[in-house]
Amino acid sequence: MSVAIIGVGLHPFGRFGDTSAIDMGAVAIRAALADAGITWPDVQFAFGGSFEVDNPDAVTSRLGLTGIPFMDVYNGCATAASALQLTADAIRSGQFDLGVAVGMDKHAAGAFTSDPVDYAAPPWYGEMGYFLTTKFFAMKINRYMHDHGISAETLARVAAKNYRNGALNPNAFRRTPVSVEDILASRMLNHPLTHYMFCAPDEGAAAVVLCRADQAHRYTSTPVYLRATTLRTRRYGAFEVHASWAAVDQDDAPTVYASRAAYEQAGIGPEDVDVVQLQDTDAGAEVIHLAENGFCADGDQERLVADGATEIDGPLPVNTDGGLIANGEPIGASGLRQVHELVLQLRGQAGDRQVPGSPKVGYAQLYGAPGTAGVSILTT
């Protein structure tokens, strides 16, 4: 049973005062239902993802207490990919015809905080100043730059592109372009990554309506098909976040395995992809993820970024809505924002940031602690 996306909805990302995550989730679901031309009682089941909200299913009290099965998921930065995959799998299995995946979050400003022992890190890991995702991303890109000849200017160009794309996106958190010079000159947080090269935790929600592909035309003339959803955790040998050690015998990051499996599931390769969403927790992550997802060889990013290949009008548009750098990261919603953007792009509804030439294949990747990656592939 294949699966189609018939509706997408978003609550803007940013900071929204007293508005609760649940209320933002309700806004996103209502928008997705309207987009699909259905109402809440048509929805047979749902999966809801969040980091801050224990029970995203409380959103049903805003939409109607219809008694449907509504399952809550949390899976780090891959939470939204997990909600999407579980929703798709429930339809693929034949159990349901139509369901909703929703993600919502409302984070305080500043870096995320948790107890390191919950990540299987040593109990002293936080006390001693190691329990910081930003530090991990900096160490990973610093080594990568050394091995593959990537410059700090390339990192700044990636961030500048994402701010520029965010300026074209009315739902983005950061809507002001920032120059390469200002990005490089902003405060160093973790060498070589400066303040403006990082995304920030914020608030927002996103929702997607999925149904059996053979029923999609009842609802829309422009269904987008979900061709692959894969999730992988780290293998022994991967250099990963929140770890006090790494093996000398290196293995690839979980993204590499999730990506290969997704291409296999979809029956396509990276050369077939028209528009890309990558986890840009920081500008360096976007650079590394370009290679980990098969879009270029290690080191080619230096030339690709300089040539503008990853711009909206380039041959390999990446993070056309501004990515995490311009949208921030409400963890539960982030991956469904990616899907929202890809669906708009594949329908030709992305407005000022529309990728030219009628893109037909979209690709989304998430990565997060303690070493989990999710990939989704969508086609017209």
Contacts with another protein, residue ranges (CB under 8 A): 110-111, 113, 115-116, 122-124, 126-132, 135, 138-140, 142-143, 146, 187-193, 236, 239, 243-248
Question: Toward another protein, which CB reaches closer, 16 or 130?
Answer: 130
Considering the complex, what minimum distance in angstroms separates the CB of residue 112 from another protein? Answer: 9
DSSP three-state, residue 375: strand
Residue closer to another protein by CB (options 65, 236) is: 236
Nearer to another protein, 127 or 352 (CB): 127
Instruction: Give me 253's structure tokens.
Output: 């990051």
Cβ 108 to another protein, closest distance in Å?
Answer: 10
Q: Which residues pair with 232 in a beta bridge?
A: 373
Residues 164 and 311: their CA atoms lie apart, in Å, by: 10
Q: How far is the CB of 129 from another protein (least distance, A)?
A: 5
CB of 82 to another protein, least distance (A): 23
CB 132, min distance to another protein, A: 6
Identity of the residue, 129 or 357, whose beta carbon is nearer to another protein in the bound complex: 129
Nearer of residues 34 and 120 to another protein, judged by Cβ:
120
Q: d(Cα 316, Cα 275) in Å, to the nearest integer?
A: 6
Q: Shortest distance, CB of residue 122 to another protein, whole angstroms?
A: 6
- Nearest 5°: the CA angle 92, 348, 82 is 30
CB 342 within 8 A of CB 362: yes
Q: How far apart are CA 181 and CA 160, in angstroms?
A: 9
120 versus 306: smaller Cβ distance to another protein: 120
Nearer to another protein among residue 65 and residue 187 (C-beta): 187
Closest distance to another protein from the beta carbon of 367 (Å): 18
Residue given tokens 């592109």 in the structure block: 161
Calculate the CA 34 to chain-centre distance.
23
CB nearer to another protein: pick between 143 and 217: 143
Separation CA 206–CA 335 (nearest Å): 8
CB of 71 to another protein, least distance (A): 29
Nearer to another protein, 124 or 307 (CB): 124
* C-alpha count within 13 angstroms, C-beta hemisphere, residue 339: 41
Largest CA distance in the chain: 58
C-alpha gyration radius of the chain: 19
CB-based contacts of 177-181 (< 8 A; 24+ apart in sequence): 180/153, 180/156, 181/156
CB 379 within 8 A of CB 360: yes
Picking from 282, 287, 235, 225, the residue whose alpha carbon sits closest to that of residue 258 is 235
Tokens of 320: 């056309």
The answer to whether the CB of 260 falls within 8 A of the CB of 228 is no
| Nearest alpha-carbon partner for 214 in 114, 104, 94, 128 | 94
- For the CB of residue 103, give the shortest distance to another protein in the complex, in Å: 24
Closest CB 246 distance from another protein, rounded Å: 4
246 or 297: CB nearest another protein: 246
With tokens 């400003």, the residue in question is 109
